[in-house]
Amino acid sequence: MDVAAKVFFSSPRFAVVGASQDPAKFGHKVLAWYLDHALPVTPINPRAASITISGIAHPTVPSVSALPSPEETSVSIITPPAVTLAVLREAKAAGVPAVWLQPGSFDSEGLAYAKKEFKAGVGGAGGMGGEGWCVLVDGEDGMSAASQELAGKL
């Protein structure tokens, strides 16, 4: 398990940039994954007041800087590469400790920025899926690694 993935899941809160109302989109699937795993998650979408999953409306915030506690929030990013670098810069300015760049959300500049500027930047080659690190494929291992480390400290 990548150390960055373990650090990512050590945060007490999570957010999904690019959260979508459309069940066919990965922004919806990743948000649902967090909810299915009972993790505290905030959807980020500047165009929707809420995202409904399993009949429950989850209020959104319009941007990373609008998160209630960005310094305690790891952020999954599912935006086009042209948007991702601006999201990363906003997250860095807001004090976000860790980011997870879903496959297809970054270019080489965005990936390099994420890995350099955050305590943990997950993305690029690796993970168990064929397209690189993905919360849907690698998230449970990351959560498990973070939980084991926390249990060892108690």
Do the beta carbons of residue 11 and residue 152 sit within 8 Å?
A: no
Reported as a pLDDT band with limits 50, 70 and 90, residue 154 is very low
Do the beta carbons of residue 74 and residue 13 sit within 8 Å?
A: yes
Question: Token match 């009972």: residue?
Answer: 38
Reported as a pLDDT band with limits 50, 70 and 90, residue 58 is very high
Average confidence (pLDDT) over 57-64:
98
Q: Tell me, what's the pLDDT at 10?
A: 95
- Measured from the Cβ of residue 65, the count of other Cβ atoms closer than 10 Å reads 14
Cα-Cα-Cα-Cα torsion 121, 96, 139, 13, nearest 10 degrees, comes to: 170
Q: Exposure of 41 by Cβ count < 10 A (0-12 exposed, 13-18 middle, 19+ buried)?
A: buried
| Nearest in space to 147 (alpha carbons), one of 10, 4, 3 | 10
Which amino acid belongs to residue 49? A
pTM value > 0.85? yes
Mean predicted lDDT score pLDDT of the chain: 93
| Nearest in space to 19 (alpha carbons), one of 56, 63, 54 | 63
Q: Tell me, what's the pLDDT at 150?
A: 46
Q: Tell me, what's the pLDDT at 128?
A: 85
Reported as a pLDDT band with limits 50, 70 and 90, residue 149 is low
